[in-house]
Each structure stands twice: as structure tokens, then as C-alpha cells.
Structure 1
Amino acid sequence: MTSRVVITAGASGIGLGLARRFAAQGDRVAICDSDAAAVADMAKALPDVIAEVADVTDETQMTAFLGRIEAVWGGVDVVCANAGTGGPAGRIEDLDYAAWQACIGVNLHGAFLTCRWAARLMRAQGAGSIIITSSTAGLFGYPLRSPYASAKWALNGLTKTLASELGPAGVRVNAICPGAVEGDRMDRVVAMEAAAGGRSEDTVRASYVTGVSMRTWVNVDDLADMALFLASPAASKVSGQIIAVDGHTDALVTS
């Protein structure tokens, strides 16, 4: 059965991996992303995917993007509130307030705007699956990364609350908590944390492995496998779950 799937921040990283996998199984996919160049590249690589530029923190842009999808499709079956940013690294007393706000804005406010739209349509339909990209940072304390950890803990609370609100209408809401995901984004995070903590990048990178039972990072396909399962009939009774895909993180130790 073909699903209608919307993915935020879908032109690169985890979002692009999700878009590729949903499209590969024959679903209708629409993505937005704030990176115009990445959106253009994706439109060329996946011409059947609706790809538009929109900033998840801008209500006007998101209303326009989501409104166009609603007009074309008439509804939506799966929404992946995937947009996120790592935010600044450092001791809380050294953090800039604007950088804190920007991190909370993308991770939490962007999910709010996306889920608010999805909830309205899915409640009316009496069905749907919302998948929020959280993080293992929403399961542990995360030294030197307080804005990011705070936003991800909030997303887990949002997931639980929306599952309760929307469950009676037949709508499921779950969160995926990735561990350290291979790719350019984590390379930047490692460099940022190394600079903030006065350590080498090799030391920081190693800490992400030693803190995981399976001694491994994860890749985008690991996360896409879980998202496709949560969106499928096989997960018809799975809701309100915060599911780590991380090789089992024991602790986030970065200082």
C-alpha cells in the first residue's frame, strides 16, 4: 500500500536517507529543507520526490509548504519530524543565548509546527504515523551540550504527550533516538566538542564508541530501517515509544 510521506530536513543526512528508502518502496514522498542547494541536488537525484525550500522555524514558510502538500495530496499518512541542529558546545556559563535559542528553535519549535499540522490531518483521517527524530542525548545528561540535550529531552516529552492525545483517533506517535551517526554532521560535532573540551578529535570520537555496548556507530540505513517499520502495519500497536537505535548507549561522556 502506497503511503504519503512528509519529511523535514529531508535533503541531506538522516532525512535524505529516509526519503530514499520511503521512495524506494514506492511511497509518495515530500521533503522540505532550509538548504536550497541541497534541495536542488535532491530534486535532480529523486525527481519523483516533492522537494521545497522551507525553514522549519519559520511558521510562514512551513504553513506554505505544508499547505501545498495538503492541497496536492489531500492528507498524509506518515510525517517524519526530522529537522535538527547540534547547537553550540561549551559550559553553560559560556554559552550565547542566541545560539541556545537557535538550537531549541530548530529541534523543538520545528517539530511543533510539523506535528501540529500532522495532528490536524491525521485526527480527521482517523489514522497516521508521526515519527520524531530525537537522540540518545534525550536519554542521558550530555556535558558541554546542554541546549541540544534539553531540546531532545523535550522532544521525548512531546512524543509521549502526542501519543496520548492522538491515540484515541488512531494516530501513532513514536521517537527514534539515534546514537552517533556516521557522516559529515557528526564529523562537525566531533570537531566542535574537541575544541570546547580541549581534547583531540580522536579522543572524542573514541568516547562515542566506548560508551556504547556494541562498540559501534550507526548509519543512516539503520535509522531508516526503524522508521520504515514504525510507519508500517507491522507496528500498528506501537505508539508512545522512545526507541534508541544506537547499539545500546551506556553513557554520554564527553568531558
Structure 2
Amino acid sequence: MTPTHRRALIIGAGSGLSASLARLFAARGLGVALAARDPGDLSALAAETGASRHACDASDAGQVAALFEELDETGAPDVLVYNPSARVRGPIAELDPAAVAQAVAVTALGAFYAAQQAVRRMLPAGHGAVLLTGASAGVKGYPQSAPFAMGKFALRGLAQSMARELHPRGIHVGHFVIDGGIRSASRPERSEAPDSPDSMLDPDAIARSYWHFLEQDRSAWAWEVELRPWVERF
């Protein structure tokens, strides 16, 4: 069996999937750290879950390193969840190169920075999990969405390479393809589909799938999970 996890770091924390993960992790007894560019927005979630809050721009390698050094004081995380992503839309001929570079940095390079710091701390114990939140854009590129596809394809490649390298060393790496819209207060169930309830992903249900991944016996580890509503085309 895989050893029990004790501390989780969620980078790119907010009110959606990250909040569901924080609540579930806390309910299962894990200490939780929340990191975001503006951690002030996380005060209510931190109070609810007992989580610590940390400021971090994930696209900045120095800030990511400083975040992990700060967490070392109370115990490095043995679960890392990386959620940030950035979109730049438009025709390929008209995209701003600087904006594209920043979007890819947030979506993919930041994941590398965070995973590297986490893995350096997990390897001595031969235990840990790195969970990367992907999207359908990581397996199929959509028109006028090249920067998002670039970032998510890179994220998937990072996860696959890490899994092949690190699974034999006790570190479970997961890439989650979130194929569909995630339900939220600002994004309720689609009104045009009254006969198709649950046509959007429930963030609490996604969080439970992440937890099931963490509970997998190492004799049958997955590296990728695709999640989509029952009515979503693929």
C-alpha cells in the first residue's frame, strides 16, 4: 500500500475546484496550504479548512522556491496540486508573443517549477504525489486557442515524463483531463439543457476523483484520468 499523505499544497487556489480539494483534504485529516497571487481572497476558505495562506506567482521560479522554503518550516507537502492556467485567445497571426509567453509560463513552466521543488523534497522519503490539473486542450487543440493548447500539451508531457521517471521511486504523478465546464455560483448548470441534469462537472465530484487517485494501491497506479459529464462529447 502507498503510505498515508499528511500535508497538501494547492497552488492556484480559488473558489472552485481548489476550494473543493481544500475542504476534502482537510476533512480527511491533511494539513492544507493555499497559494495564490492574492491570498487575501482565500481568508474565508482558510478559516473554514484551517489552511495556511501564501502569496506566490507560480510563473516566477524564485517565488515558487521561496514558497517551498517557507513551508519547510512546518513540514514540506507530500501532495502537490497545481491548478493555474492562462488563456490568450485570437487568430494565430494576431497573437501578442509576450502575452503568449506569459500564458505558457503560468500553465506549464509554473508546473515545472512547483513540481521540481516538491519532488526534491519527496525523493528522500520515497513518497509523495504530484497532481496536475489539465484540460481537453491538452489532448486536442482548438481554433484561436493555440496558447492554451501549448500550455496544456506541455503540462501533459511533463506529467507523463515525470510519471515514468518517478513512479518507480515511490512518487505518484497524476494528470487530470478536465473535459467540460465546471459548475460554480457564477457558472450554473446550462439553462439550455433542462433535460440533461449534471451536464457540468461538479467540483466536489472532481475533488473526490483526485482523492481516489491518491488512494490507489501502488500495484495499480494510474498516471492520467479523464473526467467529463455524462453528456459531454469527446
Listed one character per residue, the Cα deviations across residues 13-50 of structure 1 (whole Å, up to 9, x for unaligned) are 2212211111111111111011233133433333x211
- Structure-2 separation of matches of 1:11 and 1:250: 27
The answer (yes or no) to whether the contact 1:9–1:32 under 8 Å persists in 2 is yes
Report deviation, 1:78: 1.1
2:54 aligns with 52
1:142 aligns with 142
Q: Which runs of 5+ in 1 are unaligned?
A: 188-201
1:20 pairs with 2:23: yes
1:9 aligns with 12
- Normalised by the length of structure 2, the TM-score is 0.86
Listed one character per residue, the Cα deviations across residues 161-200 of structure 1 (whole Å, up to 9, x for unaligned) are 001111221111111111221237869xxxxxxxxxxxxx
2:163 aligns with 163
Pairwise CA RMSD? 2.5
Listed one character per residue, the Cα deviations across residues 115-151 of structure 1 (whole Å, up to 9, x for unaligned) are 0011111111111111110111112121121111111
The answer (yes or no) to whether the contact 1:2–1:26 under 8 Å persists in 2 is no
The answer (yes or no) to whether the contact 2:5–2:128 under 8 Å persists in 1 is no
The answer (yes or no) to whether the contact 1:230–1:238 under 8 Å persists in 2 is no
Listed one character per residue, the Cα deviations across residues 189-248 of structure 1 (whole Å, up to 9, x for unaligned) are xxxxxxxxxxxxx9xx97xx8xxx99822121121011111122x343454622111136
Q: Which amino acid aligns with 1:236?
A: R
Q: 1:27 to 1:215 in 2, by over 3 A?
A: closer
1:81 pairs with 2:82: yes
2:182 aligns with 181
Report deviation, 1:6: 0.9
Report deviation, 1:84: 1.8
- Normalised by the length of structure 1, the TM-score is 0.80
Q: Which amino acid aligns with 2:58?
A: V
Q: 2:199 aligns with which of 194, 202, 216?
A: 216
- Structure-2 separation of matches of 1:134 and 1:102: 17
- Structure 1 counterpart SS, 2:9: strand
- Structure-1 separation of matches of 2:143 and 2:198: 20
- Structure 1 counterpart SS, 2:20: helix
- Structure 2 counterpart SS, 1:176: strand
1:27-66 equivalent positions in 2, closer than 5 A: 27-46=30-49, 48-66=50-68
- Structure-2 separation of matches of 1:34 and 1:159: 24
Report deviation, 1:72: 1.0
Report deviation, 1:152: 0.7
Q: Percent identity?
A: 26
- Structure-1 separation of matches of 2:113 and 2:42: 20
- Structure 1 counterpart SS, 2:130: strand
Q: 1:150 to 1:185 in 2, by over 3 A?
A: farther
Q: 1:110 to 1:139 in 2, by over 3 A?
A: same
- Structure-1 separation of matches of 2:213 and 2:19: 17
- Structure 1 counterpart SS, 2:42: helix
Q: 1:153 to 1:171 in 2, by over 3 A?
A: same
- Structure-1 separation of matches of 2:131 and 2:54: 20
